[in-house]
C-alpha cells in the first residue's frame, strides 16, 4: 500500500519524480513507524486507511519542502566581489557594474558608491528585528522556517515583517534587490 501511494505522488509531483523511489518509501515508512501508535480503532478509519493518510501527509510535507527549496535557490544572493570566471584574474561582478554607462553614454564610476548609499539608507529605516531577519535570510541563507525557529517567532509574523521590508525597499527604489 505504501508503494502505491509513493508511486502516485511521484507521478503527480515533478519534484518527487526526481527522487529515488526507495528513499521516498523509506522516509515514508519511517514516518509511519513513529506515527502508528496514534491509530485510534474507535474512529471510523481502518488501520490501512490511517496508514495511507499518514504516508500521504508525509509526502505532502516533502512536496512543500522541496518547493520551498526550489524557491530558495531562485533567490540566492551572489557577492558583488565574487569573480565571474574560474581564474583568479577574472573580473568581479562589481567591476562589470562599474563599466555600465548612464543615459548619455558616459561611464558611471559612482554606481557602486550610490548602490552602497541606497542600501545603507534603506537599512537605516529597518527596525533592529528586520535587520536581523535580513541577516538570517540573506547572509546566513536560512529559510523562513529556520529563521522562525531560530528567532522563536511564528512564520506568519516573519512574513509580515518581510512585507514591511519589501515596502521600504520599494520606497527607496530598490525593487530589483528584492528578488
pTM over 0.85: no
* Furthest-apart CA atoms within the chain: distance in Å: 79
Burial 47-81 (b: 16+ CB within 10 A, else e): eeebbbebbeebbeebbeeeeeeeeeeeeeeeeee
Residue 64 CA to residue 58 CA, distance in Å, equals 10
| Per-residue confidence in pLDDT tens, the chain, 179 aa | 889 988 888 888 877 777 888 888 898 889 888 888 888 888 878 888 888 888 999 988 888 887 765 555 444 556 666 666 666 666 666 666 544 444 444 445 455 556 666 777 777 788 888 888 888 887 788 888 998 898 898 888 888 888 888 888 888 777 666 55
Residue 101 CA to residue 97 CA, distance in Å, equals 9
Q: Domains for the chain: give ranges and CATH numbers.
A: 2-74 (no CATH), 110-177 (1.10.10.10)
Amino acid at each position: 500500500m505504501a508503494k502505491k501511494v509513493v508511486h502516485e505522488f511521484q507521478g503527480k509531483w515533478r519534484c518527487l519524480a526526481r527522487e529515488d523511489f526507495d528513499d521516498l518509501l523509506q522516509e515514508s515508512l519511517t514516518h509511519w513507524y513513529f506515527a502508528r501508535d496514534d491509530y485510534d480503532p474507535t474512529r471510523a478509519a481502518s488501520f490501512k486507511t490511517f496508514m495511507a493518510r499518514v504516508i500521504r501527509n508525509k509526502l505532502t510535507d516533502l512536496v512543500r519542502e522541496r518547493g520551498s527549496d526550489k524557491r530558495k535557490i531562485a533567490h540566492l544572493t551572489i557577492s558583488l566581489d565574487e569573480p565571474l570566471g574560474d581564474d583568479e584574474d577574472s573580473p568581479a561582478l562589481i567591476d562589470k557594474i562599474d563599466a555600465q554607462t548612464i543615459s548619455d553614454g558616459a561611464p558611471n564610476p559612482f554606481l557602486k558608491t550610490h548602490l552602497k548609499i541606497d542600501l545603507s539608507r534603506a537599512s537605516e529605516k529597518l527596525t533592529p528585528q528586520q535587520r536581523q531577519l535580513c541577516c538570517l535570510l540573506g547572509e546566513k541563507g536560512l529559510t523562513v522556517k529556520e529563521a522562525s525557529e531560530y528567532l522563536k517567532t511564528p512564520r506568519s509574523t516573519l512574513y509580515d515583517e518581510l512585507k514591511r521590508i519589501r515596502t521600504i525597499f520599494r520606497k527607496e527604489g530598490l525593487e530589483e534587490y528584492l528578488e
